[in-house]
Structure 1
Amino acid sequence: MRRAIYNPVQKMTSSSFPITTAQLCGLFTESVVYGIYLVTCGYCAQHLFMIDGRWKRLREYHWAMVIVAALLLTFATLDVTTGFYHNLRAFVFYTGAGGATEAFSDLSFWVSVIKTANVLVTTNIGDGVLIYRCWIVHNKSWLVVAFSIILWFTSVACAIRILYSEITVHASALVLHEKSITPFMKTFWTLTIVINFVTTALLVSKIWRVDRQTRKYLYNSQMTTHTRYSSPLRYAIRVIMESGVLYTTFAFMTYVSYLAGSNWVYPITDMEVPVVGIAFNLIIIRAAARNAEASEPSRPQSWNSIHFRHDAGHTSLSSSRSKRFLDGSQFSNGALPHSPQKPSSALIA
């Protein structure tokens, strides 16, 4: 069996924040964030599997969101457990030269590979869901999301290349300083930041335009004198942007850590895995809260029957029996209103 040879030059640690400290901090911070994530999972599951106080029927499930939620929970749980074992092995079980520092420097060790895969796959899932939402909101227009899709496939290719290098490198070094990995890591996180920025901008701009047209219509309507219109679309914009900022902030901190060659990248990426799940869950949870607020009997229902219809290149308003548009209930399983003539945009949560 190959044993990593201890070499002080290959420790690749920061004097102020060594790899051993970074790994312990990463385990602690990820455990805290993972606990918060589990709480959000409970609320999210309630909305994904129940409706109006009863369990949903199979045909009522939004299977894409259920599968994504399950995958994110699986990878987050796997990352916490493997992280705990990694620390336990390095500080307790490892008896080779160099101690815990050398144990953490074994790039090809299966735990190191799994933890890297958890971060990369979870990030790609989060980016993919964001692109999917944008595609739905833009009436399933492939042209609108084409650039984001190209970037996403490029990031997937980078992730595959990173994992291949980590499995085959057979060297004693930290991922921060391995020349066959670092360029692809920097590229991966650059692509993630760009995908989030571009796709979120496309999402928000579309919803904002529809909301502006709605307000313009309502301003000219006599009905505005009877009730005040509270736009669920502006609420949707706020929810999307807040979740996007949370996710993108951690991606940006990871990118900066790689550029600086700092061991802070370890606790940051450890937290990144559950943070992606938290950002995903918060959209569903806050949409559910909006539903409950809008369904209160005391709230005015004058505008609940309005939805958008695309006709001859412009947006108009028409009546409908459904109230799922303005009260926000479609934020979780289908989204913005449906046109009787052709599919309309939808905000998938």
Structure 2
Amino acid sequence: MASRGIPLDNAAIFSIMMEGILYGFSVLMFIGTMWALTYRRRTNEIHRPNVVVACMLLILSTAHMVVDFIRVEQGLVTYRNTFPGGPAAFFADVAQTTFVVKNIIYNLQTMLGDGIVIYRCYVVWQSVWVIIVPSLLWFGMAVSGFGAVYSLSKATSEAEDIFAKSTGQWITVFYAMTLASNLSASGFLAYRIWRMECDVSALRATKSFSMMPIVRVLADSAILYSVTLLSALVCFVEANNGQYVVVDMITPIISITFYMIIIRIAMRKTTPSHSSLSTIRMANETARETQQRYNGRTPVEVHITQITHQDDNDTCKPAY
């Protein structure tokens, strides 16, 4: 299949530029995220899983950026005059170590990002059944990602093209499953929060608290990631070299979507111990219990102003 679009050496320059801009933005958001997670909190009040995930996303996106710099330097400087076919042929060679490594990092970043969304969906629904489909898609994504990386590492001179059937079929499945997993988990999550908002708002007398901003934050992050991923899938199916640019942009975007949710919710907090997922869990229980207790009666006022949850040691930790 003949590829179309911009030359690969031009695509390499443009992709490193776009990734660098988004990476710099993600670093600023990482700083804001760490502030939101640690500001005015004692050590035992910090939600460590979120801190770990935020750091892992930063490490992976940084590693991807470094590998991309090395790859561009090799293709345009080190092997410019020695690689058969020049820089364009170098960047088309999927068997290059730097290309294989950057795809491994991208797969890990994608699996981590989608895994977070599925976990949030489980926390809100408190049901394994809801996340069965997203989880199956996630495992399928892991298998196809491994198959893509393996096929790239075993590429020969007859199939050194990312659009070749031996590599392209794995990558297409990976993109499709990633998109489906993210959309399904994000859809279930947003729907559940919206339903809880409807249930609670119908029973409370005031509108001092609303979970709709949380729905909008989740929708914004899902749309940002899904549109970028869909663009990569379309470019790849059409064998357009623009997919190299879009894929390099996805890695920092995954980090940005995670940081964006924590920062935007932190900006709406009214107390240091207020937390979104804890609020959602309590709102879920409040809506269910209030409906059962006051079924058929006049609306009652429901106050949800400060929600925390306890760990095994009975210490308060906020969760986003």
Alignment TM class, shorter chain as reference:
0.7 to 0.9
Q: Distance in 1 between matches of 2:170 and 2:240?
A: 17
Off by >6 Å, runs of 4+ in structure 1: 315-320
Q: Which has the higher contact order (CA 8 A, sep 6+)?
A: 2
Point out where structure 1 has 5 or more consecutive residues left out of the alignment.
1-9, 297-305, 339-346
Report the secondary structure of 2:132's partner residue: helix
Specify whether residues 240 and 175 from structure 1 end up closer, same or farther in structure 2 by C-alpha distance, changes over 3 A only: farther
Kindly state the Cα deviation for residue 314 of structure 1 after the two structures are TM-superposed: 4.4
Q: Which residue of 1 aligns with 2:117?
A: 130
Specify whether residues 44 and 67 from structure 1 end up closer, same or farther in structure 2 by C-alpha distance, changes over 3 A only: same
Q: Which amino acid aligns with 2:155?
A: V
Deviations 1:203-226 (CA, angstroms, capped at 9, x unpaired): 1111111111111112xx4xx4xx
Deviations 1:240-281 (CA, angstroms, capped at 9, x unpaired): 100111111111111101111000001101110000000000
Q: Which residue of 1 aligns with 2:28?
A: 39
Q: Distance in 1 between matches of 2:119 and 2:263?
A: 19
Q: Which residue of 2 aligns with 1:323?
A: 305
Q: Which residue of 2 aligns with 1:282?
A: 260
Tell me if the contact between 1:145 and 1:199 (Cα under 8 Å) persists in the aligned partners.
Answer: yes
Deviations 1:15-35 (CA, angstroms, capped at 9, x unpaired): x51111111111111001111
Q: Greater helix percent: which structure?
A: 2
One of 21, 25, 46 as aligned partner of 2:10: 21
Q: Which residue of 2 aligns with 1:247?
A: 225
User: Given the two structures, how large is their TM-score scaled by the length of structure 2?
Assistant: 0.84
Q: Which amino acid aligns with 1:18?
A: P
Give the number of aligned pairs. Answer: 295
Kindly state the Cα deviation for residue 89 of structure 1 after the two structures are TM-superposed: 0.6
Deviations 1:162-195 (CA, angstroms, capped at 9, x unpaired): 1111111233755532221111111111111111
Kindly state the Cα deviation for residue 79 of structure 1 after the two structures are TM-superposed: 1.1
Q: Distance in 1 between matches of 2:106 and 2:227?
A: 15
Q: Which residue of 2 aligns with 1:78?
A: 63
1:199 aligns with 2:185: yes
Q: Which residue of 1 aligns with 2:87?
A: 100
Q: Distance in 1 between matches of 2:140 and 2:186?
A: 18
Alignment of 1:152-301 (within 5 A): 152-171=138-157, 175-218=161-204, 221=205, 224=206, 229-291=207-269, 294-295=270-271
Report the secondary structure of 1:176's partner residue: coil
Q: Which amino acid aligns with 2:117?
A: L
Q: Which residue of 1 aligns with 2:279?
A: none
Tell me if the contact between 1:165 and 1:180 (Cα under 8 Å) persists in the aligned partners.
Answer: yes
Specify whether residues 173 and 264 from structure 1 end up closer, same or farther in structure 2 by C-alpha distance, changes over 3 A only: farther
Specify whether residues 314 and 159 from structure 1 end up closer, same or farther in structure 2 by C-alpha distance, changes over 3 A only: farther
Specify whether residues 35 and 21 from structure 1 end up closer, same or farther in structure 2 by C-alpha distance, changes over 3 A only: same
Q: Which amino acid aligns with 1:86?
A: R
Report the secondary structure of 1:181's partner residue: helix
Q: Distance in 2 between matches of 1:18 and 1:111?
A: 19
Q: Distance in 1 between matches of 2:196 and 2:185?
A: 17
RMSD of aligned residue pairs (Cα, Å): 2.6
Q: Which amino acid aligns with 1:51?
A: Y
Q: Which amino acid aligns with 1:101?
A: A
Tell me if the contact between 1:136 and 1:348 (Cα under 8 Å) persists in the aligned partners.
Answer: no
Specify whether residues 36 and 173 from structure 1 end up closer, same or farther in structure 2 by C-alpha distance, changes over 3 A only: farther
User: Given the two structures, how large is their TM-score scaled by the length of structure 1?
Assistant: 0.78
Kindly state the Cα deviation for residue 84 of structure 1 after the two structures are TM-superposed: 0.9
One of 21, 42, 51 as aligned partner of 2:39: 51
Specify whether residues 132 and 260 from structure 1 end up closer, same or farther in structure 2 by C-alpha distance, changes over 3 A only: same
Q: Which amino acid aligns with 2:91?
A: F
Q: Sequence identity of aligned pairs in percent?
A: 24
Q: Distance in 2 between matches of 1:103 and 1:315?
A: 69
Deviations 1:86-114 (CA, angstroms, capped at 9, x unpaired): 11111111112211122212222211111
